[in-house]
Structures are given as structure tokens and as C-alpha cells.
Amino acid sequence: MATKEELYISILPLEYKTTKSNVLMAQASLLQTLKKIQNLKVLSRQKQDLKLRLQKLIASTLTQLDSIQDKIPTPKIPKTIRKDKETETIIKVVPSKRDEIEEELKLINEKLRELNS
């Protein structure tokens, strides 16, 4: 016999089955979560490797651009032909999201009025 006190209780078979299935489903859920965490670790490693690779590619591209620009002669343009950079700027008016939402609300309200009348 065991040295600890033993306690026996009676559980209904239906209750036993539901509890057992709940425990097994929880275990399966935990295992699936662990599997997803491992996949995330692998993906984060791959992401870091790709970031480093991209950084190296960008750095090499920039050095190539610098070397090409050093080889290209600078043109001499007379002052009368040059354009000011200030005159070339174009002002773009971008509608805000709030304006778009308000327009959609107006359209919806108009449709509701047409349906109700």
C-alpha cells in the first residue's frame, strides 16, 4: 500500500468522458500552439536573414550608383535655361479619410431617404 492517504470517489461515466475529452482537447490545443510558435521562430529567422540580404543588396546598389555618378560628367547649363526647383513643385490635394467617409455617409443617407419616401 501507498504511504499517503488514498481517496476514492465515484464519477458518473458521462461526466468522466466529457472531462477526459476536454483534457485531451486542451492537450491537442497546446501542442498546436507549440507547433505554431516553432513555425513563428523559423519564420522570424528567415525574415531576419532576408532583411540582412536586402540591406546588403541596397548597400551594393548604392555603391554602384555612386561609382556610376562619379564617371558621368556634370553638364554645364547656362543660367538662362536652368529652372528653379521651387517652380517645379506641384501641390497635390489629397482628400482625407474623413472627407471620404462623410461623402459615403451622405450617399447612404440619400439612398435611405429615397427608400423611405
Q: What is the pTM of this model?
A: 0.47
pLDDT tens-digit profile of 78-93? 777 776 554 555 666 6
pLDDT tens-digit profile of 25-66? 999 999 999 999 999 999 999 999 999 999 999 999 999 999
Q: Dump the DSSP string for 56-83.
A: HHHHHHHHHHHHHHHHSPPP---TTT--
pLDDT band at 1 (very low <50, low <70, confident <90, very high): very low
Backbone phi, then psi, for 92, in 5-degree steps? -105, 135
